[in-house]
């Protein structure tokens, strides 16, 4: 791992490793939601087409961009049909000669047709409704208006004589008399509005308004009268259409035409050879002829009897709706089967299943990706420690084996399965025991963790060399269960987010306060330690490290900062011992890189240049983008009298565009070291004309309130003047360094130079 002056590419922060799985999970969730409502045309078991009966033969009319669902013919013979679309606004189509004129959102403006309600004809006028809007076509143009009818879910509309009636599922009946709207609530004995079946409206030639809902009702002034032909309440009947004579009702066996006071006509389907289960979908009448659309074809009556008409053919298996012109012309919407859909029906359940499996695999991928990244980081860290110290501590090797197991697909799958299994078990528990307290989720989850750990340990395996020496088989492996515990607690927190305020107040306030307190404590320790170092008060800096690391005084971080203070104080052997302990205990790569850099400084000042160089190189290798070790490498090259190499290292301190943005917390500002070392390297190369500018920039960049920083800059500028054989200026700089920080690292170097009167060479 040569530190050859090239700029290693900074790594992305660890959190970015979870971004691809998160993006994939979001896309899969969206796709899964769409797949459950995915109904492409080639998978539809059937489609609807419009047919016309001419001269005793059926002819298919031109196709429409959708499945026509409702057919109406005006008194003048104009044919209209409603064309719903999946997840798109419905359209209305008018037959002009042999082609359809389709009207859609560009014609309707702000209105959208509610296809579940349908439309109504009044002469040549067309009426339709949407949510709180009325759409009207007067034969020339469409108008869209927000009208004053009840803002509920509309269930039916009728129009006649320039008037419009609209009823919603809550029983609010709105009436437009041609100029204004009026709304009143319909009171039907025993009616519980809002429940199915929804009310349907009809209007007959005598001006009566009808409501079909759990029976048949006719308006009588402001009241509603129950219509019971022959004493029958018709509660089991559904309205399938209306004609000028009355309302057509069907109960699955009988088709009844009910008028104001009596039954005008009745048909039992079995009398015409139709079995039970046949659906009646529409009725149309012109003169004495009545046509009824059924799922088996078209029934026709001339007033004397019923018969089945010849079907449209062309693969039509049922009739959706019928329409009749003033002269008896017949049109029908036929339902045509799609045999090709059978070959592809497996896609309907298969695609959601594949997406669901992909969604389930995404957290496994995320966990494995994160753990694999941790393993790779540990391997890099292990390589760095081995390069710096010549050996790998046993703890590092053991951790590497553990991370290698954790980064496997099986381990990641097991981690996710435990959490998902806990959620499913909790759902089953709540189904059986609805009053189960929320905290029961945690015992369930931890029990599953224990089962997994015990189950894995029951599997016979060959003992490994690193297994503990103990009687019997190797002990239980609690690794997967232990890794799933934090995620389980996070899931528990999210599942009970709404309940936490009842238990402990706003959880976000607690979380924010805890994080803020921890951040403040850490920031206070860092700030006070840095201030003490900048003042050259090394004893106080050591006390601050002990005080703010009281919870783990022998931990890797505490040892690292203690070693840093000892290096700054010039206690190099003591610093080396402390930092070697820190290197063996640290697992954070950024902290390890700092410790290796500080260890390199301690070795450098003991003139152990080979070990120091390996330590600096290891720091660069541990964290790509970490540039601070290049200061030590440049100092080392200058002491070895290799100024060309030193200048390359100097340029690496800042890089071509400054320090890496995602390493600013460890790189910090290094402009004073950059310019001071550059001035020294230029002087050694004999480029004296460039030295004064670099020296001036070094002094300008140095913190004048920090004695150690001033001492470092003065000492390096003194070495530059010494290389240029400007003895008096060199001595002046060395004296400044000695006086600036009498007890620090750089003053000792300055005193050495003042005593030797020659440039230090090794």
Q: Extract the tokens encoding 322.
A: 């019928």
Helix axes 643-654, 629-639, angle to 10 degrees: 170
Average pLDDT on 112-137 reads 89
- Assess whether pLDDT exceeds 50 at residue 665: no
What is the per-residue pLDDT across 415-458, written as a single tens digit (0 to 9) for each?
Answer: 787 777 777 887 788 788 887 777 777 777 777 767 766 665 55
Distance from C-alpha of 196 to C-alpha of 153, rounded to nearest angstrom: 13
Strand order, beta sheet including 238-243: 238-243, 246-250, 254-258, 263-268
* Exposure string for 630-666, b = 16+ CB within 10 A, e = fewer: bbbbbbbbbbeebbebbbbbbbbbbbeeebbeebeeb
Cβ(490)–Cβ(413) under 8 Å? Answer: no
Cβ(297)–Cβ(319) under 8 Å? Answer: yes
CATH pick for 625-762 out of 1.10.443.10, 3.40.50.920, 1.25.40.10, 3.30.70.360? 1.25.40.10
Distance from C-alpha of 235 to C-alpha of 217, rounded to nearest angstrom: 11
The C-alpha angle with vertex 486 and arms to 481 and 489, in degrees rounded to 5, equals 110
Greatest alpha-carbon span in the chain = 134
How distant is the alpha carbon of residue 329 from its chain centre? 57
CATH 1.25.40.10 in the chain is located at 625-762
Residue with tokens 């109960």: 251
Question: Using CA atoms in the order 744, 750, 755, 761, what is the torsion angle rounded to 10 degrees?
Answer: 120
- pLDDT bin (cut points 50, 70, 90) of residue 13 is low
Half-sphere exposure of 697 (CA within 13 A, CB side): 15
The C-alpha angle with vertex 28 and arms to 24 and 34, in degrees rounded to 5, equals 150
3-state percent breakdown (helix, strand, coil) of the chain, nearest 5: 45, 20, 30
Distance from C-alpha of 377 to C-alpha of 659, rounded to nearest angstrom: 21
User: What per-residue confidence (pLDDT) applies to 7?
Assistant: 41
- pLDDT bin (cut points 50, 70, 90) of residue 543 is very high
Distance from C-alpha of 411 to C-alpha of 367, rounded to nearest angstrom: 9
Average pLDDT on 263-272 reads 82
- Assess whether pLDDT exceeds 70 at residue 465: no
User: What per-residue confidence (pLDDT) applies to 326?
Assistant: 64
User: What per-residue confidence (pLDDT) applies to 602?
Assistant: 93
Helix axes 707-723, 507-535, angle to 10 degrees: 50
Distance from C-alpha of 248 to C-alpha of 149, rounded to nearest angstrom: 27
- pLDDT bin (cut points 50, 70, 90) of residue 587 is confident
3-state secondary structure of 286: strand
Question: Using CA atoms in the order 477, 483, 488, 491, what is the torsion angle rounded to 10 degrees?
Answer: -160
- Assess whether pLDDT exceeds 80 at residue 75: yes
3-state secondary structure of 200: strand
155: Cβ contacts below 8 Å, ≥ 6 apart: 117, 167, 168, 169, 198, 199, 200
3-state secondary structure of 439: helix
Q: Percentage of the chain with pLDDT > 90?
A: 26
**Tally: H helices and E strands in the chain:** 23, 28
- pLDDT bin (cut points 50, 70, 90) of residue 386 is confident
- Assess whether pLDDT exceeds 70 at residue 87: yes
Distance from C-alpha of 62 to C-alpha of 78, rounded to nearest angstrom: 16
What is the bridge-based pairing of β-strands 254-258 and 246-250? antiparallel
Question: Using CA atoms in the order 370, 375, 377, 379, what is the torsion angle rounded to 10 degrees?
Answer: -170
User: What per-residue confidence (pLDDT) applies to 500?
Assistant: 58
Query: Mean pLDDT for the chain?
Result: 81
Distance from C-alpha of 597 to C-alpha of 599, rounded to nearest angstrom: 5
Average pLDDT on 534-563 reads 89
Distance from C-alpha of 363 to C-alpha of 367, rounded to nearest angstrom: 6
Say which CATH class 46-338 falls into. mainly beta
Exposed/middle/buried for residue 421 (C-beta within 10 Å: 0-12, 13-18, 19+): middle
What predicted TM-score, i.e. pTM, was given to this entire model?
0.55
User: What per-residue confidence (pLDDT) applies to 510?
Assistant: 65
CATH 2.130.10.10 in the chain is located at 46-338
Please provide the DSSP assignment of 662-717 as one string: GGHHHH---HHHHHHHHHHHHHHTT-GGGHHHHHHHHHHHS-TT-HHHHHHHHHHH
DSSP class of 311 = P
527: Cβ contacts below 8 Å, ≥ 6 apart: none
DSSP class of 352 = H
- Assess whether pLDDT exceeds 80 at residue 487: no
Structure-model confidence comparison of residues 502 and 272, the more confident one: 272
Phi, psi of 215 (to 5 degrees): 130, -175
Cβ(322)–Cβ(293) under 8 Å? Answer: yes
């Amino acid at each position: 791992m040569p530190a050859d002056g090239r700029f290693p590419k900074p790594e992305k922060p660890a959190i970015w490793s979870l971004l691809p799985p998160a993006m994939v999970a979001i896309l899969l969730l969206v796709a899964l939601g769409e797949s459950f409502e995915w109904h492409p045309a080639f998978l539809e078991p059937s489609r609807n087409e419009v047919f016309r009966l001419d001269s005793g033969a059926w002819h298919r009319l031109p196709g429409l961009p959708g499945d026509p669902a409702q057919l109406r013919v005006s008194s003048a013979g104009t044919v209209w049909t409603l064309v719903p679309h999946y997840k798109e606004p419905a359209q209305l189509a008018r037959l002009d000669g042999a082609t359809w004129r389709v009207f859609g959102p560009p014609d309707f403006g702000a209105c959208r047709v509610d296809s579940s309600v349908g439309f109504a004809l009044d002469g040549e006028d067309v009426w339709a409704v949407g949510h709180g809007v009325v759409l009207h076509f007067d034969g020339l143009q469409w108008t869209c208006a927000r009208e004053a009818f009840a803002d509920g879910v509309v269930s039916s509309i009728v129009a006649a004589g320039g008037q419009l009636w609209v009823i919603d599922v809550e029983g609010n009946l709105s009436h437009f008399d041609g100029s204004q709207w009026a709304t009143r609530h319909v009171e039907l004995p025993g009616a519980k509005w809002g429940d199915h079946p929804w009310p349907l409206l009809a209007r007959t030639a005598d001006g009566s308004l009808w409501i079909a809902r759990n029976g048949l009702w006719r308006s009588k002034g402001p009241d509603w009268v129950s219509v019971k032909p022959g004493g029958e309440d018709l509660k089991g009947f559904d309205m399938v259409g209306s004609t000028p004579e009355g309302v057509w009702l069907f109960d699955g066996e009988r088709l009844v035409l009910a008028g104001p006071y009596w039954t005008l006509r009745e048909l039992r389907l079995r009398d015409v050879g139709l079995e039970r289960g046949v659906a009646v979908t529409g009725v149309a009448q012109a003169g004495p002829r009545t046509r009824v659309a059924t799922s088996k074809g078209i029934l026709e009556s001339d007033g004397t009897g019923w018969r089945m008409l010849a079907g449209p053919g062309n693969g039509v298996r049922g009739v959706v709706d019928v329409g009749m012109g003033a002269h008896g012309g017949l049109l029908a919407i036929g339902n045509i089967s799609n045999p090709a859909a059978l070959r592809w029906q497996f896609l309907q359940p298969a695609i959601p299943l594949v997406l669901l499996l992909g969604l389930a695999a995404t957290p496994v991928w995320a966990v494995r990706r994160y753990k694999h990244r941790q393993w790779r980081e540990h391997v890099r860290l292990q390589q760095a420690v081995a390069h710096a110290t010549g050996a790998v501590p046993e703890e590092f090797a053991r951790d590497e084996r553990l991370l290698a197991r954790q980064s496997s697909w099986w381990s990641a799958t097991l981690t996710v399965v435990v959490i998902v299994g806990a959620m499913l078990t909790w759902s089953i528990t709540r189904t059986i025991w609805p009053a189960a307290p929320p905290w029961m989720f945690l015992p369930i989850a931890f029990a599953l963790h224990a089962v997994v750990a015990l189950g894995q340990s029951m599997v016979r395996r060959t003992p490994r060399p690193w297994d503990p020496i103990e009687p019997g088989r190797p002990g239980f492996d609690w690794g997967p269960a232990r890794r799933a515990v934090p995620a389980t607690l996070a899931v528990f927190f999210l599942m009970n987010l709404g309940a936490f305020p009842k238990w402990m107040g706003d959880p976000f306030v607690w979380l924010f306060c805890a994080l803020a307190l921890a951040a403040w404590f850490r920031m206070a320790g860092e700030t006070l330690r840095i201030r003490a170092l900048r003042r050259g008060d090394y004893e106080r800096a050591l006390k601050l490290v002990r005080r703010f690391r009281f919870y783990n005084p022998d931990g890797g971080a505490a040892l690292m900062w203690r070693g840093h203070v000892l290096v700054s104080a010039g206690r190099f052997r003591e610093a080396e011992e402390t930092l070697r302990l820190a290197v063996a205990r640290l697992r954070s790569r950024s902290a390890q890189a700092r410790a290796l850099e500080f260890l390199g400084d301690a070795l450098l000042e003991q003139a152990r240049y080979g070990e120091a160089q390996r330590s600096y190189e290891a720091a660069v290798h541990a964290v790509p983008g970490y540039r601070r070790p290049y200061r030590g490498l440049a100092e080392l090259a200058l002491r070895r009298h290799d100024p060309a190499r030193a200048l390359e290292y100097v340029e690496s301190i800042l890089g071509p565009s400054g320090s890496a943005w995602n390493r600013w917390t460890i790189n910090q500002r290094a402009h004073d070291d950059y310019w001071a070392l550059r001035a020294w390297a230029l002087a050694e190369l004999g480029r004296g004309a460039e030295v004064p500018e670099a020296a001036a920039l070094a002094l300008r960049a140095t913190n004048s309130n920090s004695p150690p920083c001033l001492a470092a800059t003065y000492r390096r500028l003194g070495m530059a003047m010494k290389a240029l054989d400007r003895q008096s200026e060199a001595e002046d700089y060395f004296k400044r360094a000695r006086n600036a920080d009498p007890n620090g690292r750089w003053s000792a170097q300055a005193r050495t130079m003042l005593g030797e009167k020659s440039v230090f060479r090794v």
